[in-house]
Amino acid sequence: MSKNENFIENKVKAYIENLFSGIGESQQLFDLKEELATNIKEKVADYKARGIQDEQAFKEAVISMGDLSGLVDDMRKLGQDTARQSVHATMTARVSTAGIIAGVLLVLFGTFTVAMLYFMGLDAVNVTGPGIFIVAGGALMTYSLLTRETGRKYAMNRIRAAFYGLSIGILLFSFFAAVMTRFATGEMFIAIGTLMVFFLAGIGLFLFLILTGSDRRKKGE
């Protein structure tokens, strides 16, 4: 991160923390802070593209957000309403749990089916075909785990978690496609080329997400 980017990052973080100071922490508040930070940084980038300096661009971005007192009041009320927080956390946990279970079952189904077809003596292409269930299961498990709130971390933004799931899915698919290509064509260099294309795309997306991620740890952890 460059010096200018770090300056904006710190300004935005300080502004949002000050805006919601004194409000009880919750998953909803964490999500709102993430959304506001993204919007402000996007507006800052727009103003900078017009030739405005960092400090002024930040001020203009904040002004363009309008009056946020309504959001602050809503979060303050929510922070005091433990019942609503509990219901939200329970519903989110149930959805995440269902996704994790479904992902594990898909991976197991794909694994057992591949093993079964192998011992049935089918050709290699047909044997490896059900491996696509492992790809789907891995992506679903990644998304579900990241969108699950824990005692130490808040759940990740669903869109960002979806991109993480996509990156893992692409990485798993790169191996699946390489194996399928190897058996379908009989040429190892084609299989390696297929692996390279998808693997580089997946690892590139994964690294971008890691390097641009925010801290989800709860205060005191």
Mean pLDDT over each residue of the chain, to the nearest integer: 89
Q: What is the rounded CA–CA span in Å between residue 41 and residue 54?
A: 11
* Under 8 Å between Cβ of 106 and 72: no
- Residue 23 binned pLDDT confidence (cut-offs 50, 70, 90): confident
pTM: 0.79
Residues 33-71: tens digit of each pLDDT: 888 988 999 999 999 999 998 889 999 999 998 888 888
- The alpha-helical segments, DSSP class H, found in the chain are 3-19, 27-49, 54-64, 69-80, 82-119, 124-128, 132-146, 158-185, 188-211
Q: Are 89 and 149 in contact (CB under 8 A)?
A: yes
Return d(Cα 144, Cα 165) in angstroms, integer.
Answer: 9
Question: In Å, what is the CA distance from 214 to each residue of 28, 109, 193?
Answer: 16, 35, 34
Between 12-21, 137-146, 179-188, the lowest mean confidence (pLDDT) is in 12-21
